């Protein structure tokens, strides 16, 4: 297993609502085997069609606050009286087993991960243009105009965080965006610091 | 041309004699279009089968020393009374035109390029093992045992420079090694610092 590095890579993906991140992630997971997509913990109730361990791990408030107290979360946030967070233990187990772990989190959560895991790879996905982002948000037709305008304002705020990301991927065509992320992961595996174990006698 | 970055990327490839670098480079150039392979200048006489502008640019000692005096070389060295060097102007023209430029140079030349062009990408190619490197050098059957042993000693010296390289590629299978370099180039194109021009309103 010459090319196997010892530890998995932590990959953090962020991008504005409507950019098509979940579609890119599905395509990415189909293009490249062996990536573990991290599922968040939440205290909110499952919506219709959502399953425990698929969309989220659904836990009680007591359980979640126990995880906070025991420092078991890589990052967490509270929205509308519900907690959302990422289990450090789950991720660490995968990384220790040499498996790459993908996190889909927004910019504040990503900033917390960056502080704790500076070796993680941070990728920001943008649409080809704001006009196109607006078109995509309207096309979904699930939100009212006011909500869409709010999402576009939030996108502009999130864009200010882009310089803190290592890589920028434009989601023009989903398969191209996924292929670029695959290339980024391959390149990160080739980083000298991740491969010195392959060099004899140095 | 949304995904086009403004400037080309300078790529420096090093690796020990016998690792199969020129085969990997041929495969790389066939896998990925738009890379300019930089041809060195030399004052040595062309060998049988070598052509000016293909293997080297063959110039007189006076011309070469003029290039040194005019600071026209990115790096140069003198071996056995002959100069070898890389024209800065040739490279700069390509990079300015948005074309990636590949240099095949040894570790000392690479160190000089690193000092002048910190944004270049430095890739070191290793064989799967020293045993395999020895096998490859013997298989070429062009050198005497003493020369081969000298090359293996030199390889061990060159290996000490590996930590200064950004990426480490193992040439086990040529097509895999070339594909990894293609992925590295794609990833480097995705670096946030090379793509901020694609982001509106930041």
Q: From the candidates B178, B179, B188, B199, which should be mutated to test the interface with A, based on the most A CB atoms within 10 A?
A: B199
The SS3 of residue B200 is: coil
pLDDT per position as a tens digit, A141-180: 677 888 889 889 989 999 999 999 999 999 999 999 999 9
Task: Check B162 against A126: CB less than 8 A apart.
Answer: no
- The predicted pLDDT at position B49 comes to 85
Q: Is there a contact between B121 and B102 (Cβ–Cβ < 8 Å)?
A: no
Question: For residue A72, which of A80, A160, A83 has the smallest C-alpha distance?
Answer: A83
Interface residue B163 vs chain A (CB under 8 A): yes
The four Cα atoms B121, B122, B128, B130 give a dihedral, to 10 degrees, of 180
Q: Please give the Cα distance from B173 to B166 (Å, whole number).
A: 21
Per-residue pLDDT, averaged over A102-107, amounts to 91
Cβ–Cβ contact A183 with B under 8 A: yes
| Alpha carbons B123 and B125: distance in angstroms, whole number | 7
Q: Is A128 on the interface with B (CB under 8 A)?
A: yes
CA distance B126 to B170: 5
Is A186–B183 a contact, with Cβ atoms under 8 angstroms apart? yes
Chain B, nearest residue to A127 by Cα: B199
Which chain A residues are Cβ-neighbours of B130 within 8 angstroms?
200-201
- What tokens does A179 get? 């292929």
The residue among A102, A124, A104, A122 whose CA lies nearest residue A169 is A124
Whether pLDDT at A184 is above 90: yes
User: Does the structure show a pLDDT above 80 at A80?
Assistant: no
Distance from CA of A31 to the nearest CA of B (A): 14
Do A170 and B3 count as a contact with CB atoms less than 8 A apart? yes
Q: CB of B74 within 8 A of CB of B87?
A: yes
Q: Strands (DSSP E) along chain B, which ranges?
A: 10-14, 35-37, 41-42, 57-58, 73-79, 82-87, 100-104, 121-126, 167-170
| pLDDT(A4) > 70 | no
Cβ neighbourhood burial of A97 (10 Å; 0-12, 13-18, 19+):
exposed
Closest CA to B2 of B200, B202, B201: B200
According to the model, what pLDDT value does residue A1 have? 34
Distance from CA of B181 to the nearest CA of A (A): 8
Residue B11 — φ and ψ, nearest 5°?
-120, 125
Q: How many CB atoms lie within 10 A of CB B142?
A: 8
Count Cβ–Cβ pairs < 8 Å, chain A vs chain B. 108
pLDDT for B201 equals 62
CB contact under 8 A, A170 and B124: no
Predicted ipTM > 0.95: no
Contact between chains at A124 and B192 (C-beta distance less than 8 A): yes
* Averaged pLDDT score across all residues of chain A: 90
User: Chain B within 8 Å of A130 (Cβ-Cβ)?
Assistant: yes
Q: How far apart are the first and last CA of chain A?
A: 20
**Phi (first) and psi of residue B54, to 5 degrees:** -110, -65
Please list, in sequence order, all residues whose beta carbon lies within 8 angstroms of the beta carbon of residue B49, skipping any fewer than 6 positions away.
Answer: none
CB contact under 8 A, A201 and B156: yes
Residue A70 belongs to what H/E stretch? Answer: none
Residue A201 has its nearest CB partner, among B159, B163, B172, at B159
pLDDT along chain B (202 residues), means of 10: 67 93 93 92 90 92 96 88 91 93 92 92 95 88 82 91 96 96 96 85 57
The answer, for A186 touching chain B at a CB cutoff of 8 Å, is yes
**Mean per-residue pLDDT, A120-141:** 91
Taking residues A86-108, what's their average pLDDT? Answer: 92
Q: Is B110 strand, coil or helix? A: helix
B32, B187, B189, best to mutate vs chain A, most A CBs in 10 Å: B187
Span of A145-149, A191-195, A198-202, B23-27 with lowest mean pLDDT: A198-202
């Amino acid at each position: 297993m010459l090319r196997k590095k010892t530890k998995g890579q932590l990959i953090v993906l962020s991008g504005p609502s409507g950019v098509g991140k979940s579609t890119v992630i599905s395509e990415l997971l189909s293009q490249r085997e062996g990536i573990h997509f991290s599922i968040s913990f939440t205290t909110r109730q499952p919506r219709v069609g959502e399953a425990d361990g698929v969309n989220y791990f659904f836990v009680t408030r007591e359980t979640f606050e126990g995880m906070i107290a025991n420092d078991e979360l890589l990052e967490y946030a509270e929205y509308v009286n519900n907690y959302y967070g990422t289990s450090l233990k789950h991720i660490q187990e995968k990384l220790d087993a040499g498996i790459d772990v993908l996190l889909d989190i927004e910019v504040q959560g990503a900033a917390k991960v960056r502080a704790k895991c500076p070796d993680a790879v941070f990728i920001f996905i943008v649409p080809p243009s704001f006009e196109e982002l607006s078109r995509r948000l309207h096309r979904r037709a699930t939100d009212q105009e006011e909500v869409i305008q709010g999402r576009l304002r939030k996108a502009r705020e999130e864009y200010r965080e882009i310089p803190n990301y290592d890589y920028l991927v434009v989601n023009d065509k989903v398969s191209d965006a996924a292929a670029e992320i695959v290339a980024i992961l391959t390149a990160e595996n080739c980083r000298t610091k991740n491969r010195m174990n392959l060099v004899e006698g140095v």
